[in-house]
Amino acid sequence: MNKDNLLNEIFEYIKNYDSQIGELINFQTPERLREKLDFSILPAGGDDNSLLTDVQNYLKYSVKTNNKQFLNQLYSGENLPAFIGEIITALTNTSMYTYEVAPIATLIEKELINKMCKIAGFKNGGGTFATGGSNANMLAMMSARNKILPLVKQKGLQSAPLLSAFVSDQSHYSFDTAANILGIGSKHVYKIKSDSSGKMIVSDLQNAIENSIKRGETPFFIAATAGTTLLGAFDSLDKIANIAKLYHLWMHVDGSFGGSIILSKKYKFLFKGLENADSFTWNPHKLMNVPLIASVLLLKDKHRLMKNLSDLNTDYIYHDNDLEEYNLGKQSVQCGRRVDALKVWLAWRYYGDLGYEKRINRMFELAAHAEKTVKNNDKLQLLAERQSLNINFIYKSKDRSKDNELNLMIRENLMRKGISMVNYGYLKDKVSIRLVISNPDVSEKDLNEFFNNFIAMGDSIQEKITENTPKAHTEKCLISENYE
């Protein structure tokens, strides 16, 4: 098949993809999927006839994250201009290390960073696109470490003081990973208690810092959260900033999930104090609905990223000329770096500030509707007051001691049957179904359908559960049907 015909066929599949999103997922166990699709064949001679079949199968068995019953992750939905940006990015296939190979992409990224810094309140800020919120958080911790220990780049940590960092007990696990990678050690990342709404308790933060100093450690880093993973809570940034200033600590704000909410004038109050932070992680691939990955680290000091790295003896890439300040690779820990800025640029140009503000506000309206639905249904229980876009609830078992077991089975059955996808976590020892509103194209009708599905599945499973049926056997019986 020639190139033009092949591309036409592929784009026909893409065009028809939207018509297939009625099926959320054609769930298969790993064993069944391996039986259906032979993953062991990577032919020595190549097989150009397999391409269309492979694409078709990939689409058939993938989760349709733009389906309006996909409420499982902190991202969902679709964004046409951003999707087009993905295609153009792959077509041009360049890297973000020098202006020479990425001229327009460099200017786009610099303009986006400037705009996002202005929104965050960083008047003379800078930043970079990263490969996800976890890596952006690591770069923030690295920046804090290198600021307090400027010689660590050459000498390492052998003779350095023992550093300590402070995060909420609701924070993302990426800070432990960052401490591991940076030589700080996850045991020196202290988890600060949160209140019933999921916000960091500032008095506990101050006590933890004082205790760390008494142990002979050197506190250097605080991470606040703007939108926690489970409850969608926003820490009190202004109060935490006061503590950071008092002890001369770097303050980072992890807005991996909730960062885009800052685009709404109505809800920007949640970010009060952000302008006093040193860095901010913001993921457009979450609530701006840009395809993965689009993640940004913003810093108050525009020169900080350049100071993070040793002098780069790389004259085979970076040449002495008048374009040096546009060579973005010199402030990145990556060499080759994909152009993630284009899709954000195209989407932002398409929707504009006001369009994105309306989308964010719409998500809050939908979250309020979901919360009200739970509160008004006797079969459901709200486990925590809504903080932003996360609704935590359960189906109430007739035997309340079986709440955890029953809700896990409801969630599993809905997913395996391809009806709805929703995730869960634990509030202390209690399973909490976590419904996330991250797609502004979802309607109240779609949410009502989800709750109806959830309740109907709960009713059905509860009828099958008997006091004499062991838990493991019950679960096996209820999720071992043929989901062809």
pLDDT, tens digit, 9 for 90 and up, residues 378-396? 999 999 999 999 999 999 9
Q: What is the pLDDT of residue 7?
A: 84
Average pLDDT, integer, range 124-147: 97
More confident residue, 78 or 484: 78
**Residue 476 confidence (pLDDT) above 70:** no
**Per-residue pLDDT at 468 exceeds 70:** no
Rounded Cα gap, residues 251 and 247, in angstroms:
11
Band of residue 307 on the pLDDT scale cut at 50, 70, 90: confident
CA distance 147 to 305: 10
pLDDT score, position 321: 64
Is residue 163 within 8 Å of 145, Cβ to Cβ? yes
Q: By mean pLDDT, which of 273-287, 311-325, 387-401 is the weakest?
A: 311-325
Share of the chain above pLDDT 70, in %: 92
Q: Distance between CA atoms of 336 and 122, rounded to whole angstroms?
A: 27
- Express each pLDDT in 98-115 by its tens digit: 999 999 999 999 999 999
pLDDT averaged over every residue in the chain: 91
**What tokens does 103 get?**
């001229």
Closest CA to 295 of 93, 74, 137: 137
367 pLDDT above the threshold of 70: yes
Q: What is the CATH number of domain 95-339?
A: 3.40.640.10
At 223 the three-state DSSP class reads strand
Can you tell me the distance from the alpha carbon of 65 to that of 76, in angstroms, rounded to the nearest whole number?
A: 5
What CATH number labels 349-479? 3.90.1150.170
Tell me if the pTM is above 0.85.
Answer: yes
- Average pLDDT on 70-85 reads 96
422, 201, 281, 427 alpha-carbon torsion, rounded to 10°: -10
Residue ranges per domain, the chain? Answer: 3-64, 95-339, 349-479
